[in-house]
Every structure is written in structure tokens, then in C-alpha cells.
Amino acid sequence: MKKGGDETTKKFAEQIISASEKGASLTKGILAFTRKQVINPQVVDLNGLIERTEKILMRLISEDIELNTNLTDRALNVNIDEVQIDQILMNLATNARDAMLNGGKITISTSLYEINGEFIRAYGYGKPGSYAMINFADTGVGMDEETRKKIFEPFFTTKGLGKGTGLGLSISYGIIKQHNGFINVFSEPGNGTEFKIYLPLTTQEAKERKPIEVITTVSGSETLLFVEENSIVRETTRVILEEYGYKVIEAVDGEDAVQKFNENKDNIKLIISDMIMPKKSGKEVYEEIKKISPDIKVIFVSGYTADQIKTKDISEDGISLLFKPITPNKLLKKVREVIDSPNNPKFGLKA
């Protein structure tokens, strides 16, 4: 962690931690959506949300991609689940990054938009009223008409095998509908992609945000293996761990985790692994790696509830299970605690 102690460093850390806490909530948010549970809305200024998310978006994209924001001067108060809207922005950013392998530009702008009868007749959807509009544009490869028509369908993806679930945009679409909003997309091959998101304005005042607690005493320099299927959760968690000095090796599934460990077994001090993953579960990964390195330490996390996974074998082995979302503060403290604990591979992280 940068330890300058000045306000610029502190503000940067606050933005990283704030956005990372939202990223860590992704799996639980998706589960809530698929079970059609009630969202947790609160009144926020949409411009403020984007400003707080900008730093984490910059870390999610490549260094050769420019990120610009053009936010309206007026407040855009909306009644939203901030975590879920933030997930949408991170998903759009990672998709844009993947469409600009040779670099490019992302522009996020906001404005006040009035949906009227003319809009509804032109697009075939909408409800008259005042909306906050997010315009998210990239200069990537774009897409043809056939692809554009399918991008909100579940499991549709243009990415290679193992590089995308095809759920990101369909979940984003569902979240926006839950907020009584609308989304459309404009794109042509070679001319980039532009998403427009419309969220109903509210006359209520935005709530004052609590200051973010910044940790400065739990940094480290060890190498960690972080195993997580979801790219947004994986990348945002990597960002916060790297900000506090750790070296992070990422794995996208169980088989990838075993391979990455074999390639780096002399350096990895701790495994942080999702519990339920494709190809091999977290428990199977741990059992296989333990044959290579019996003293390896592990932290299991899961986005599923206790009644959705089998916890009996884990508890019998003395390995505790942490249920997502996990805040960066708690993760950083426990990572340090596990690494500094006696050499016991069965030292886990309690919820």
C-alpha cells in the first residue's frame, strides 16, 4: 500500500475500497436477482456514484485504454441499489476492454432525459417522465446487427471458451428493469458500441454517505493464489490486494488453480478460493494441492448460502467458510492473520 499519508493517497484508497466492496457483493447480488428477491434501493446522486467508481474502472481496463467522464452539472437523484448499478458499470467496462485489444477510449456521460410519446413510438418501449441517462461508449470493434439483437439473452457471449459466462449483460438488463428503467445499445462493426441506460429520477434528497474506513496496518508482500470464476469479483479483489502490497496470481476455475499452483508452488503462501467452481470445486482443489504442499494455507469463500452447499466435510476438516460479500477491510485483516498464524493448513476464515 502506498503510505504517503496525504489527502490524495487517502482519497484514492477510499475510492478503491468503496468500489471494491461493491465488487465483492457481485455474487450475492446475482443470486438475489435470480431468486427475484427485493433489491435494496436508496436515493443517491448518479454522478457521485460514477465518480466513486471511476478509479476502480481504470484499474479494470488496460493501460492503453483512455477513460473519460462527462457528467452533467445538475444532481441526478435516483432511487437505486447502488451495488447493482455499480456492477453494471463494471460489466460494461470489462466488455469494452475486451473489445479494444489494441487500446481505445471509453466515455461515460450523464444527462437529464425526458421520455415522451415520440421516444416511445420510436423505440417501442418507455414510460413518460424524467430520467437520468448514462451514456457508456467505447471505440472497440463493435458488433453486427445479429449480435446486437442477442446480447441481452442469457448465456449469449462473443468471448472464447472459458472467457465469459454470457450472463453479464442479461443480468444487467434484468437489474435495470427491476429499477423501472430501460437500456438500449447502438453499434456497428468497426465503429464501437454505445449503451444508453435510463433510470427514473426522484425528487427525494440523496442520503449523506458514511466515510470509508481506510486500513494502513495490514499490508504484506506475499504471493497469493486467488481462485474466482467471476471476472469482476476476481479483478476488483486483485486490485485491493495489490494496493496493499500482495502479489496476486489469478485462476478462473479449479483446474486452472491447480495448474497455476504447480507453476508457482515455491512462491504461493496462501490460497483464497471460491467454493463452487467449474471443473473442480474449491475443496477438490485444496485436496489436490495439499498433496503437493501439505502445509499450504487456504481461505474458502462462497456466494451461496449454507443450505445450498455441503459444509459438513469442510467443518470436519477444521476449515471455516466465509460467505460473500466480504469487505476489503475484513479480507485484508484475515489474510494477514492466516499468513501469520502457526503453520497449520487447516486455519480458515470464519464468517
Maximum alpha-carbon separation in the chain = 68
How many beta carbons lie within 10 A of that of residue 139, not counting itself?
A: 19
Report the SS3 class of residue 2.
coil
End-of-domain residue from the set 200, 235, 258? 200
Same domain for 230 and 160:
no
Same domain for 194 and 69:
yes
Cis peptide before 342 (omega within 30 of 0): no
Question: Residue 266's pLDDT is what?
Answer: 94
End-of-domain residue from the set 142, 165, 200? 200
Domain boundaries, position 247:
223-340
CATH of the domain at 248: 3.40.50.2300
Same domain for 132 and 73:
yes
State percent of the chain over pLDDT 70.
Answer: 73
Same domain for 134 and 252:
no
Q: Please list, in sequence order, all residues whose beta carbon lies within 8 angstroms of the beta carbon of residue 289, skipping any fewer than 6 positions away.
A: 257, 258, 261, 271, 296
Residue 326 banded pLDDT, cuts 50, 70, 90: confident
Whether residue 62 lies inside any domain: the answer is yes
Same domain for 288 and 189:
no
Same domain for 54 and 179:
yes
CA 80 to chain CA centroid, Å, is 17
Residue 29 banded pLDDT, cuts 50, 70, 90: very low
What mean pLDDT comes out for the span 286-311?
77
Residue 227: beta bridge partners? 251, 273
For the chain, the domain total comes to 2
Whether residue 333 lies inside any domain: the answer is yes
Same domain for 282 and 174:
no
Whether residue 246 lies inside any domain: the answer is yes
Same domain for 45 and 176:
yes
> Residue 121 above 60 pLDDT?
yes
Whether residue 12 lies inside any domain: the answer is no
Whether residue 17 lies inside any domain: the answer is no
Whether residue 330 lies inside any domain: the answer is yes
Same domain for 167 and 255:
no
CATH of the domain at 121: 3.30.565.10
Residue 310 banded pLDDT, cuts 50, 70, 90: low
In whole angstroms, what is the distance from residue 153 CA to residue 167 CA?
A: 8
Total H helices, total E strands in the chain: 12, 12
Same domain for 50 and 160:
yes
Task: Give one DSSP letter per residue of 151-162, joined into a string.
Answer: TTSTT---SPTT
Q: Give whole-number Cα distances, 236 to 7, 57, 167, 288, 292, in Å.
A: 23, 9, 18, 27, 29
Question: Residue 226's pLDDT is what?
Answer: 95
Q: At what angle do helices 7-24 and 328-340 cross, to 10 degrees?
A: 90
Same domain for 234 and 119:
no
End-of-domain residue from the set 200, 234, 259? 200
> Residue 192 above 90 pLDDT?
yes
pTM of the model: 0.65
Question: Residue 193's pLDDT is what?
Answer: 94
> Residue 238 above 90 pLDDT?
no
What mean pLDDT comes out for the span 92-108?
92
Q: Which of 82-86, 224-228, 305-309 has the lowest mean pLDDT?
A: 305-309
Whether residue 71 lies inside any domain: the answer is yes
Whether residue 25 lies inside any domain: the answer is no
Same domain for 187 and 77:
yes
Q: What is the pLDDT of residues 245-286, one digit of tens each?
A: 999 999 988 899 999 999 999 999 999 998 877 788 888 998
